[in-house]
Amino acid sequence: MHVRLSKTFTFEAAHYLPSFPEGHKCRRMHGHSFKIDVIVEGDIPAGQHHLVDYGDIKAAIEPVRTQLDHYCLNDIDGLNHPTSERLAQWLWKRLRAALPLLSEIHVHETCTSRCEYHGPDGA
């Protein structure tokens, strides 16, 4: 059986987008309540009744969440231009080794705006 599992985590962080034009509101320091969906996908192995333990997904996410929560994203190595797109890519790089079945990352910057990232090969 082929399934997709999603685990959501949240964090609060500030950022500014220096690549945006002068006068643009996002160029100024501001904050968000980020919501991140981490999605793993695959076939349930024979003789097993689940794909991945949700607790294992949470354990992979927690060190990354702690690194982001209540920080300025621009100050974190690799996030000097922390758009939703770059944040999704940054998260992928940090979670992929611990979650080999990682399929997608969704970054919800606001309740109406999100980025969906499917990895470097677009799978």
Residue positions annotated with a catalytic role: 26, 70, 109
pLDDT tens-digit map of 85-95: 999 999 999 99
Q: What is the pLDDT of residue 120?
A: 86
- Which 3-state string (H, E, C) describes the chain? CEEEEEEEEEEEEEECCCCCCCCCHHHCCEEEEEEEEEEEEEECCCCCCCCCCHHHHHHHHHHHHHHHCCEEHHHCCCCCCCCHHHHHHHHHHHHCCCCCCEEEEEEECCCCCEEEECCCCCC
pLDDT of residue 122: 64
Q: Tell me the pTM.
A: 0.94
**Domains of the chain, residue spans:** 2-117
The superfamily (CATH) of domain 2-117 is: 6-pyruvoyl tetrahydropterin synthase/QueD (3.30.479.10)
pLDDT at residue 41 is higher than 70: yes
pLDDT in tens, 63-113: 999 999 999 999 999 999 999 999 999 999 999 999 999 999 999 999 999
